[in-house]
Structure 1
Amino acid sequence: MTGTTGAVAAPHFLATRAGEEAYRRGGTAIDAALAAAAALTVVYPHNTALGGDLVALVRTPDGTITCVNATGTAPAARDAEELRRRHGDRLPTRGPDTITVPGAVRGWAELRRFGAALGWAAQFDAAIAHAADGVPVARSLAAALVADQAELAADPGSAAVFAPGGRFLEEGEPLVQARLAESLRRIAAKGPDELYGGSVGTALAAGLQAAGCPLTVADLAGYAARVTPAISASLQGFRVHTSPPNTQGFALLRTVRALAELGSPDVPAHVLARLFHDGTRVRDTLLADPEFARTDVENDGFAEIVAELRSGAPRPAGAAATPSVPRGDTVGVAAADSRGFAVSIIQSVYDSFGAAVLEPETGIILQNRGLSFSLDPRSPNVIAPGKRPKHTLMPVLVTRGDDVRWVTSTMGGHGQPQIHAQVLLGLLGGRTPREAVSAPRWVVGPRAPGDRSDTVHFEADVARATVTDLEGDGFPTREVPPRTEFLGHTNVVAVAPDGSLTAGSDPRSDGSAAVVVPGTH
């Protein structure tokens, strides 16, 4: 095992460093990805936390690719009628009514079963040290603290951690999370059940109930990750693998399938934009937990959109829509090694700092993923006890024959399928991982008041011909600064046909990428 070469890329350099150390201690790509994922819950708390979710793909040396879906469920006491009486037709953006059961830690335990070489506790070493000793506030976190001051100041737990002494921390100042460090130590020492029913879980549930959330110890103890085969589609001799519903992975595969039917991935920007807009339509209307509602997200309207693109028919304008801004909600870790393990992990608290509820006894931030549920009783995604909401997280692996070629992971909220598609097309076109994640990008969908469902936000350095093509097809466009986190950040590991590894981390984040060769430090 000590002879394993491994690559890892993450959106914070300290998380990447934790993954590197796991390789040097004899770990596999699974160990490296988990160490990075745990560290991120400390150094990037606006994006991920012990109180958040996880979706991952893991590839084992025998070529099997499996999805670990650790998306949280609605608490057993959630009552849709009560929520409608208090909130009308839509849940609030933050607060106790948006909290779902945390899934990430249970997801870590499931991932380990596929080939972790180091002990459970080893993946927590860096995270515990960073929480106890403190880390400098990163650029992305500092921006989130400015943007979310009002919500965080209103929550005593958040204010105590992020505004010690009454002033919010600024970039470079030390962030110390003593209570979180203790929770991490207990989970490291006693295993995942310490959160799912042990002393940490008991304290967490008690604190949330005091804050008005009905989550109980029984909700935590009864939670299980869903382990299923990945779903996939082919394009030009490659196979793209991702996560099935309740996640939006299907939207990427609809684009891949359409490009295959059109005969080439080399299509004008407006063709991609039409596919992106159509995938969003299906996600917003049909995506739900398949154990509660079975809908045909893979095929609904697919033949029609392909026929429309072949005919060159005019495109109807998009409707007015509610903005969806992927600000500080998600992290992605990519890892692969010379033994044949590969992992794409996506973790999230949904909005920046999730529900803006930090349970003070445990130091754990809770996600507001419940906001993704509908309160419309006619919706397949209507909230119900034990149900998982429609979900944005979607890891990706790409194979050619029996071999992994790329591991990709991205932040970007509802834009994740579109970001993955643009990065993958760059990789297929010969870009290196670094070039692919750094390239200018654009995303279809509402992100500001007044936007339509088909509004395109494009980075200022996107080619003018691309913008002209989009506008020529009737897409409203809005320019944003280049390399902005507003349009997500991505990490990629590439495995060449000879087995050599390269990696790239998005300059839109605070991350880094590394390849660890045996005997190097």
Structure 2
Amino acid sequence: MFTDRTLGNRPVFTPTLGAASEHGVVSAPHILASQSGLRVLDNGGNAIEAAIAIAATLSVVYPHMTGLGGDAFWLIGNADGSVLGLDGAGTAARLANPEYYLAGGRQRIPERGPLAANTVAGAVSTWDAAYVHSRERWDGTRNWGDLLDDAVWYAFNGCPVSRSLHLVLTDKLMEMVNATPRFQAVFLANGHAPDVGSTLRQRALGESLTQLQRSGAEDFYRGDLGARMARGLAEQGSPLSAQDLAFFNARWVEPLRCSYGKGELVNLPPPTQGLSSLMLLALMERTGTAGMDPFGAEYLHHAVEATKLVFTLRDHYIADPDYMSISVNDLLAPDFLDGLASRIDPGMVRSYGDGAGPGDTVWFGVADREGRTVSVIQSLYYEFGSTVMAGDTGILWQNRGCSFSLDRGSANVLVPRKRPFHTLNPAMYIKNGKVHLAYGSMGGEGQPQTQAALASRVLDHGMSLTEAIGSPRWLLGRTWGDVSPGLKLERGYTAEAFHQLKMKGHPVEWVAKHSSVFGHAGMIRIGGDGAFEAASDPRSDGAALGL
């Protein structure tokens, strides 16, 4: 493997947006995380083992997007073509219900602070479940603790502040200077955003990771680390308790499937919006976007109008599946999708509301030499989540639970031990009975739309992975770092396409080329000859690497 520079004693690979290999590939939104995954593959590890290393490293080097205190979802593609789903949606605290918040005079759950830290963090539990699967089903040989080595090293010794981290801290500075002293001590330099390339050290987080190395993932939920986290959160006013952590385990779930082209789309069931991603592509296929110019106004109009129909159904129905009033199979039924597609008028623009809101997330993927594949998405929800650290552990806690409603009539109403609605949804595409694509993106509302763009461009229009990811995107609604719910076009579309959309009645606006507003995406492709390709997003700090 070629490297051209080092960070301490850690080699850093030359950043690349595309990679090809016959032995395995990785794609992640930070170069150091990609490097961690590739090192595991190079040392004989499998795709799951590499993904755990990537997840852990991202939790240190991309702390505004993900961390141990967040949730995660996995699609795991076995060599025989079967796919398993792993749901790491943390459940609400036992004390959390609408009255808990309404009694304090609040009409909604706060987006920041200890009252927003009201759900268990499920990510570490998914690492544990995936690791057990690797050992028992894939004959995995890598030691659990070794997979966290890079993360521990970067926490103690430091990592360069990324462009994305600097921009987020700069943009949200007035909000972050009101965060806890522990938060400020780690992420702010005398009240200012640290410069790009300056060193970020997280000693307390390193100590927690070291404890996980020694004691295993169980310690996070039912051990000393869990007790310390719960005590630290409670002291700051969070409703979470050690009992809530001990109650939680990630769930294995059956993925959702939907035919598309000559293959099958695969995504996760509720409480994720994976259903939305499948429905959107299904409607686009039914309205003929495969035969349209993928950068033309006609294509964009049909994609946007399909998005409005899908998101309206999503916001009305999708929640913890234990509380849903409709079967997802009914929404994916061909007759239902046919009827929904017939409502898209080439000349009519429907109104659209605010939707589900923003989301700061990481997607990463790995394919190993045996053709086994993982597609993973992990998040703290908003940038830095609740901004609350779990006591002295250095672990930032998510604010995913602020997406719960206090309205008893809502499908997503807050109930103790309920899982919140999740924008997170990793994707795969099956062709000839095998995983052909693994892909995904951060970006809240933008995730299904970016997935639709990537899959359509590669499968219908024959683009390379790097071309599909690097080309301009559209976005309806709000996403990371954004508050406007209108239609946005990234610079790179033609002025004619913009004008035609405006003439149709779309409230369209321009956004700068390769803006993070459009998310950080990644893709992996396994060819029929067994060759691997990977691509990373120029909007991120990541890289695609191959053995």
TM-score, length-scaled by structure 2? 0.89
The residue identity in structure 2 corresponding to 1:16 is S
Distance 1:103 1:4 in 2: 34
In structure 2, the residue matched to 1:174 is 199
In structure 2, the residue matched to 1:130 is 154
In structure 2, the residue matched to 1:436 is 468
Q: Does 1:379 align with 2:404?
A: no
Q: Does structure 2 conserve the Cα–Cα contact (< 8 Å) formed by 1:250 and 1:298?
A: no
Q: Does 1:104 align with 2:137?
A: no
In structure 2, the residue matched to 1:258 is 283
CA shift in 2, pair 1:57/1:281, >3 Å? same
CA shift in 2, pair 1:316/1:504, >3 Å? closer
Unaligned regions of 5+ residues in structure 2, if any? 1-20, 135-139, 293-298
Q: Does structure 2 conserve the Cα–Cα contact (< 8 Å) formed by 1:349 and 1:368?
A: yes
Q: Does structure 1 conserve the Cα–Cα contact (< 8 Å) formed by 2:474 and 2:490?
A: yes
Distance 2:496 2:103 in 1: 50
CA offsets per residue over residues 419-458 of structure 1, 9 Å max, x none?
A: 0000111111222221111110011114699845xx2111
Q: Does structure 1 conserve the Cα–Cα contact (< 8 Å) formed by 2:311 and 2:355?
A: no
In structure 2, the residue matched to 1:281 is 312
Over aligned residues, Cα RMSD in angstroms?
2.0
Shift of 1:304: 4.2
SS in structure 1 at match of 2:301: helix
Shift of 1:297: 5.4
Shift of 1:165: 4.8
SS in structure 2 at match of 1:508: coil
Question: In structure 2, which of residues 256, 264, 269 is the aligned counterpart of residue 239 of structure 1?
Answer: 264
CA offsets per residue over residues 224-274 of structure 1, 9 Å max, x none?
A: 112111111111102110110100011111122223434553342101111
Question: In structure 1, which of residues 385, 389, 394 is the aligned counterpart of residue 425 of structure 2?
Answer: 394
In structure 2, the residue matched to 1:193 is 218
SS in structure 2 at match of 1:195: helix
Q: Does 1:147 align with 2:171?
A: yes
Question: In structure 2, which of residues 429, 432, 453 is the aligned counterpart of residue 422 of structure 1?
Answer: 453
Distance 2:162 2:304 in 1: 33
In structure 2, the residue matched to 1:353 is 384
Distance 2:483 2:256 in 1: 36
Q: Does structure 2 conserve the Cα–Cα contact (< 8 Å) formed by 1:96 and 1:212?
A: yes
5 Å matches for 1:8-407? 8-99=26-117, 100-115=119-134, 116-154=140-178, 155-262=180-287, 265-267=290-292, 268-296=299-327, 299=330, 302-309=337-344, 312=346, 314-319=348-353, 321=354, 324-326=357-359, 329-407=360-438
Distance 1:226 1:303 in 2: 32
In structure 2, the residue matched to 1:482 is 513
CA shift in 2, pair 1:296/1:97, >3 Å? same
Q: Does structure 2 conserve the Cα–Cα contact (< 8 Å) formed by 1:410 and 1:419?
A: yes
Distance 2:438 2:175 in 1: 35
CA shift in 2, pair 1:74/1:445, >3 Å? same
Shift of 1:302: 4.3
Shift of 1:332: 0.6
Distance 2:55 2:500 in 1: 39
Distance 2:425 2:448 in 1: 8
Distance 2:56 2:80 in 1: 27
Q: Does structure 1 conserve the Cα–Cα contact (< 8 Å) formed by 2:47 and 2:373?
A: yes
Distance 1:153 1:377 in 2: 35
CA shift in 2, pair 1:290/1:10, >3 Å? same
The residue identity in structure 2 corresponding to 1:382 is V
Q: Does structure 1 conserve the Cα–Cα contact (< 8 Å) formed by 2:371 and 2:530?
A: no
SS in structure 2 at match of 1:92: coil
Q: Does structure 2 conserve the Cα–Cα contact (< 8 Å) formed by 1:443 and 1:457?
A: yes
SS in structure 2 at match of 1:86: coil
Q: Greater shift after overlay, 440-449 or 248-257? A: 440-449
In structure 1, the residue matched to 2:17 is none
Shift of 1:324: 3.0
The residue identity in structure 2 corresponding to 1:431 is M
The residue identity in structure 2 corresponding to 1:306 is A
Unaligned regions of 5+ residues in structure 1, if any? 517-521
The residue identity in structure 2 corresponding to 1:375 is L
Q: Does structure 2 conserve the Cα–Cα contact (< 8 Å) formed by 1:234 and 1:256?
A: no
The residue identity in structure 1 corresponding to 2:463 is R
CA shift in 2, pair 1:84/1:298, >3 Å? farther
In structure 2, the residue matched to 1:519 is none
CA shift in 2, pair 1:494/1:101, >3 Å? same
Distance 2:79 2:308 in 1: 37
Q: Does structure 2 conserve the Cα–Cα contact (< 8 Å) formed by 1:233 and 1:256?
A: no
SS in structure 2 at match of 1:308: coil
In structure 2, the residue matched to 1:410 is 441
CA shift in 2, pair 1:273/1:297, >3 Å? farther
The residue identity in structure 2 corresponding to 1:457 is K
Quick one: percent identity of the two aligned structures?
34
SS in structure 2 at match of 1:161: helix
TM-score, length-scaled by structure 1? 0.93
Distance 2:482 2:531 in 1: 46
CA shift in 2, pair 1:346/1:322, >3 Å? closer
CA shift in 2, pair 1:16/1:246, >3 Å? same
The residue identity in structure 2 corresponding to 1:150 is M
Distance 2:518 2:268 in 1: 21
CA shift in 2, pair 1:87/1:121, >3 Å? farther
Shift of 1:312: 4.3
Q: Greater shift after overlay, 80-89 or 344-353? A: 80-89
The residue identity in structure 1 corresponding to 2:464 is T
Q: Greater shift after overlay, 429-438 or 124-133? A: 429-438
Shift of 1:78: 0.8
Shift of 1:278: 1.5
Q: Does structure 1 conserve the Cα–Cα contact (< 8 Å) formed by 2:317 and 2:324?
A: no
Distance 1:87 1:104 in 2: 32
The residue identity in structure 2 corresponding to 1:513 is A
Distance 1:244 1:465 in 2: 38
Q: Greater shift after overlay, 276-285 or 71-80? A: 276-285
Distance 1:469 1:70 in 2: 42
Distance 1:336 1:468 in 2: 42
SS in structure 2 at match of 1:258: helix
CA shift in 2, pair 1:313/1:5, >3 Å? same
Distance 2:483 2:400 in 1: 24
In structure 1, the residue matched to 2:544 is 513
